[in-house]
Structure 1
Amino acid sequence: MTVLDWLIVAAYFGILAAIVWWSSRRIKTSADYFLAGREVGFFVVGASIFASNIGSEHIVGLAGSGAANGLAQAHWELHAWVLVLLAWVFVPFYYRSGVFTMPEFLERRFDARARWILSIVSLVAYVFTKVSVTVYAGALVFRTLLADVFGSPDEAFWVGAIVTVLATGVYTILGGLRAVVYTEVLQTGLLILGSVLITVFGLSALGGWEEVREVARLQGERWALWRSNADPVFPWLGVMISSVVTGIWYWCTDQYIVQRTLAARSLQDARRGALWGGFLKVWPVFIFLVPGMIGYALHLKGVIRIPEDA
């Protein structure tokens, strides 16, 4: 890390702090805190949906999956079409009900028991499937890139985990949903720009797209998008069924995603935001998975080294 690198990091956190300060000054009601005052435009809604889904675990995990499995993991990214279902079927019911959360919607639709069941299941699921994985992946980035800064890889790992939790908690608690959605717009731009640059630099170091295609040809079934039903990890029938079922649950009913649409200034903005988020969701195939494939090709050429246990 050079002085310029640290200045860029400091500028990023400075912008986050400014957004939190600006957001905290506009909180006057519960709607301001939980729904950003219902004044968010479609562009921010869509970018927030994308960034709330994409985290450090995707950047690390999808790149690793691209190196190990090629395009197999792309099915879950290409099912961004489910966001069309969110926009045209689910959002009108949620938005017009005026609720703040999905558990609240279930309580109005059924009873308080349904609200408590969904709340408990969601909290447990977030801890084990989202929060823990995100924190772990962020800590891995610290351990890999900043081991020398913090003395050792293990110390860098724990610093990364603690910083990830504290930074996220502080701006969420102080700024409410408004701070969250606007910081996610910033993160969306950085995620896409940074990943595109990695892809471009990787292709340049490799010698062009034809080199990736040649490696993919040699990998054959191991890197294929569609696998036979005999494949132990990605059988095509299992992938098609599971990706649709989990996709509808996650994109259309999960509080973590749906709350962004509830913050829109109008039903039209909520729908457009969901569609914009779906468009952005397709890009991880090209800017997260493909760089992993490029990395594996560079490994075969001896340009970089990927540990065998990675």
Structure 2
Amino acid sequence: MALLDWIVIGIFALALIGVIVWVMRQKQNNAADYFLGGKDATWIAIGASIFASNIGSEHLIGLAGSGASSGMAMAHWEIQGWMILLLGWVFVPFYTRSMVYTMPEFLEKRFNPQSRTILATISLISYVLTKVAVTVYAGGLVFQQVFGIDTLWGIDFFWIAAIGLVLITALYTIFGGMKSVLYTSVLQTPILLLGSLIILVLGLKELGGWDEMMRICSSVKVNDYGDTMVNLIRDNNDPNYPWLGALIGSAVIGFWYWCTDQFIVQRVLSGKDEKEARR
């Protein structure tokens, strides 16, 4: 990497450390302070946290690669993001008035302790095996490729980067609570947006522009029914993304993720009131 790259990374790292240290010095008096950041978050902090937490290395690397290999139909899973409106306008009032901090806690109040245990167990296992595992793998891969280091101290640098990411994130999340997650996300969101935009522009420039990309992708057949890489809606006999199956499947997963997943809901519940949460 060039000197400018190191300077940019260094400035970002210092800014991130500064935010974390500042947040960790804030006094936390109760569970609401720890789990919900004191319930004083504005819509900007909530939105930035949801965006930065949802969009990560697994998207910039994993989903980008999936899109490049399977085509536009992969976007079905992300289109269901509109369902976060249901969270704000339908579910937030229920969650807020129940005075809960977690989704397992909500189930316990709504049903029984057994349902709380079941959801907590399933959530932890699924997080580790799906989202956390994928994110850590992609993050470790990014660090290895960016720094250009294969081994360090006789250890594959991928493992050092991956484990390091887990430890650093765990430390500032455990000691800083939800507030540290919110404020670091505010810092990360504009960087993610700007970085993604730069990658898009440079990629299209290298390829020859939008029209060239559409020409290439339109010529790649993905099934025997006339669909190409650019088709979002494919024939219902498509083996991978039949339009009916993709629509229903992505809707079910989207409803779970955007309206009931602790990963998203906890950030919305940190709002100072329902109005901020809905915004």
TM-score, normalized by length of structure 1? 0.83
The residue number in structure 2 matching 1:228 is 235
Task: Kindly state the Cα deviation for residue 270 of structure 1 after the two structures are TM-superposed.
Answer: 0.6
Residues 49-105 of structure 1: CA distance to partner in whole angstroms, max 9, x if unpaired?
122112211111121022112211111111111111111111110112221111111
Gaps of 5+ in 2: 222-226
Within a 5 Å distance, the mapping from 1:91-106 to structure 2 comes to 91-106=92-107
The residue number in structure 2 matching 1:287 is none
Task: Kindly state the Cα deviation for residue 154 of structure 1 after the two structures are TM-superposed.
Answer: 7.2
The residue number in structure 2 matching 1:47 is 48
The residue number in structure 1 matching 2:125 is 124
Q: Does the Cα contact within 8 Å between 1:91 and 1:270 map onto a contact in 2?
A: yes
Q: Does the Cα contact within 8 Å between 1:88 and 1:271 map onto a contact in 2?
A: yes
- RMSD, matched Cα: 1.8
Structure 2 vs 1, CA of residues 194 and 132 (structure 1 numbering), >3 Å: closer, same or farther? same
Residues 187-208 of structure 1: CA distance to partner in whole angstroms, max 9, x if unpaired?
2211111010011111222222
Q: Does the Cα contact within 8 Å between 2:236 and 2:244 map onto a contact in 1?
A: yes
Paired residues, what number? 272
Structure 2 vs 1, CA of residues 7 and 153 (structure 1 numbering), >3 Å: closer, same or farther? farther
C-alpha distance in 2, partners of 1:79/1:212?
Answer: 25
**What secondary structure sits across from 2:156 in the alignment?**
helix
Higher mean Cα deviation, 215-224 or 123-132? 215-224
Task: Kindly state the Cα deviation for residue 174 of structure 1 after the two structures are TM-superposed.
Answer: 1.7
Matched, 1:70 2:77: no
Matched, 1:258 2:259: no
- The sequence identity of aligned pairs, in percent, is 51
C-alpha distance in 1, partners of 2:70/2:113?
Answer: 44
The residue number in structure 2 matching 1:145 is 146
Residues 247-302 of structure 1: CA distance to partner in whole angstroms, max 9, x if unpaired?
11111011111000110011011111xxxxxxxxxxxxxxxxxxxxxxxxxxxxxx
Residues 133-182 of structure 1: CA distance to partner in whole angstroms, max 9, x if unpaired?
11111112123222337559972211221121112111111211000011
Q: Does the Cα contact within 8 Å between 1:69 and 1:222 map onto a contact in 2?
A: no
Within a 5 Å distance, the mapping from 1:12-27 to structure 2 comes to 12-26=12-26, 27=28
Letter in 2 for 1:174: F
The residue number in structure 2 matching 1:209 is 210
Q: Does the Cα contact within 8 Å between 1:252 and 1:258 map onto a contact in 2?
A: yes
Letter in 1 for 2:190: G
The residue number in structure 2 matching 1:248 is 255
The residue number in structure 2 matching 1:238 is 245
Task: Kindly state the Cα deviation for residue 19 of structure 1 after the two structures are TM-superposed.
Answer: 1.4
Residues 22-54 of structure 1: CA distance to partner in whole angstroms, max 9, x if unpaired?
111222322111110000001111111122112
Task: Kindly state the Cα deviation for residue 242 of structure 1 after the two structures are TM-superposed.
Answer: 0.7
Q: Does the Cα contact within 8 Å between 1:99 and 1:105 map onto a contact in 2?
A: yes
Q: Does the Cα contact within 8 Å between 1:33 and 1:176 map onto a contact in 2?
A: yes
Q: Does the Cα contact within 8 Å between 1:146 and 1:156 map onto a contact in 2?
A: no
Q: Does the Cα contact within 8 Å between 1:139 and 1:161 map onto a contact in 2?
A: yes
C-alpha distance in 2, partners of 1:184/1:248?
Answer: 23
Structure 2 vs 1, CA of residues 192 and 236 (structure 1 numbering), >3 Å: closer, same or farther? same
TM-score, normalized by length of structure 2? 0.92
C-alpha distance in 2, partners of 1:227/1:77?
Answer: 17
Structure 2 vs 1, CA of residues 226 and 153 (structure 1 numbering), >3 Å: closer, same or farther? farther
